Chain A
Amino acid sequence: MAGTDHAPPPFFKRGPAPLALLTFYIAISLALFVVDLRLRSLDLLRQSIALVTDPVQRAAQTPGSLVDHAGGYLRGLHDLLDENARLKQAQLQLAPNLLRLEHLEGENERLRKLLAVTEREKANGAVARIMYTARDPFSRRIIIDKGQQSGIVAGQPAIDEAGVVGQVTRVFPFSAEVTLITDKDQTVPVQVVRSGQRSVVFGLGSGQLELRYIPANADIKEGDLLVTSGLDGVYLPGFPVARVVSIERENSYAFARIRCVPVAAVENFGEVLVLSPRQPQPPAPPESPGRTGNTGAPSKAAAK
């Protein structure tokens, strides 16, 4: 310890001054915040931390799921028999359509070939169970139980039996995060079934959706069904997304305010089908200067 005579004895050593530490940590936190929010390039850091927190989080979910299981076990044979009968009936009702589907698809393919139109893509996917909703109260996301190990990649759409639920936004080794279509500013390019009008539907964050950029005099009514238009290269065309519930037309605005509710059970627990990514589309032709595309704005993840 020669030469350190002027240093304070270790008895008083307290490390760096609190204010210096505070500045240091705050600087790191703010840097993380900005980089994560604007550049979204911290996925590796997130994944490695998730490797530690994920097992703990799964362990914390077990009491709840045990209660669920016990509830299901105690629900009784009678209910299950009822449900079984109902499902059989539903299947029978759908049978004519399903039986003809294969035939129709074959016919469609042949006709498309005759017309020299490119073939329709088929929808394949993996069924995933919803584990829990993400804890973050500022956004609407769910966590599903399939991840990198099952070949899930960011950008894949997720649907349930009624329609589009959301889009995979982050992938972890054993789980993935799906951003619901009702999340604020989550976008889905859609088409009105009745009139064929194309637009983009935005999440409002309140469980509702808003159809934007539709002129006030456009042909749209309450109850109209919106399906995916498929122009984005992410969602296959034709999946139901939402139903129009209210339309406000004001003279002061060029566009109508159109509120919609999702068709799928977006905010409920259950199972979702994660559709496999679409085949890459041919590159868009160069845009002519006089014309601006008013349809098919790419959704958030597609732009990434």
Chain B
Amino acid sequence: MQPTFSSSRILLPVRPWFIIFSLFAALLLNFLPTAHWPGVPDWVALVLCFWSIREPRRVGMGWAFILGLAMDVADGAVLGQHCFAYVLLAYVTAAQARRILWFPLAQQALQVLPMLVGCQLIQLLMRMLTGAEFPGWGYLTGPLIATLLWIPVTFLLLLPQYQPVERDENRPL
């Protein structure tokens, strides 16, 4: 059976300020003192991934780079670590955007999982190769939780774009 484009309703155009607001909110969530709890997802990677799939023309590698720099400084990590991972994430998601959007939400989440895991793995590799300590397997559980959050996050971030459902006998759409 051929998949249908069932995952999207007809949406209002996105408001640029809402994209900026959501990315900023993700940054704020990342700054919360939850870094040492296992399983807390990288919110910036998740929201960036979402917008990069939905609006690849508006949110791309430039945003990824700037957010990565902010994360590097805030984390006290090596400069360029998050930049590299986020830019790569933005590129891969933008390249796959058209294909991923074709699937229903649950399958989208499964497609996003390897990208988010890759984002963490790249950072892990970069730091381990340069002699940092291994942070424990809890570090890689973040993307799993992020994948589970894909459906609620999609709903939340698309909320301002939904139109009121009005039934009209003469207009089937």
Residues of A within 8 A of B (CB): 14, 18, 21-22, 25-26, 28-37, 42, 45-46, 49-50, 52-53, 56-57, 59-61, 63-64, 132-139, 141, 143, 170, 177, 184-185, 205-206
Contacts and interface: CB of A to CB of B under 8 A. Distances in A.
Contact of B33 (A32, A132, A137, A170): A132
A11 to B, nearest CB: 13
Chain A to chain B: the 3 pairs with minimum beta-carbon distance, closest first: A205-B133, A33-B80, A32-B80
Interface string B77-93: 11111011001100100
Contact of B74 (A28, A45, A133, A135): A135
Would you call the interface of chain B mostly helix, strand, loop, or mixed?
helix
B109 interface: no
B55 interface: no
A61 B28 CA distance: 10
Contact of B79 (A33, A59, A141): A33
B106 interface: no
A270 to B, nearest CB: 15
Interface residues of B, number: 42
B65 A33 contact: no
Interface stretch (B124-132, B145-153, B160-168): B124-132
B37 to A, nearest CB: 11
Interface in B47-103: 57, 60-62, 64-65, 68-70, 73-81, 83-84, 87-88, 91, 94-95
Contacts of A30: 80, 84
B73 A50 contact: yes
A44 to B, nearest CB: 12
B133 A139 contact: yes
A60 B79 contact: no
Given A14-B57, A21-B60, A28 B65 contact: yes
B27 interface: yes
B133 A29 contact: no
A46 B132 contact: no
Nearest to B136: A137
Contacts of B70: 49, 52-53
B76 A141 contact: yes
Contacts of A205: 133
